[in-house]
Structure 1
Amino acid sequence: VEQGTPDAIQGSANPIVQQFVRGDVEGALRPA
């Protein structure tokens, strides 16, 4: 799944992808 394809992202069952849809992954992608 490439970035910029919300339809494909929402269709994914991957929990991390689901968070990506919410934008919660923004903080997770950056090392604390």
Structure 2
Amino acid sequence: MTFWIFHSPLWRYQSQMEEERSFKLTTKFTKP
């Protein structure tokens, strides 16, 4: 239980970064 309370925000932050990175990648590819 304590593990999830401690780990959840980190996981959410990491997935947010991944989303941002893939978004930048798509923008990079679509824009010449």
TM over 0.5: no
- Give the structure with higher Rg (CA): 2
What's the TM-score bracket when you normalise by the shorter of the two chains? under 0.3
The one of the two structures with greater contact order (alpha-carbon pairs below 8 A, sep at least 6) is 1
Q: In proportion to residue count, which structure has more helix?
A: 2
Q: Could you tell me the TM-score, scaled by structure 1's length?
A: 0.19
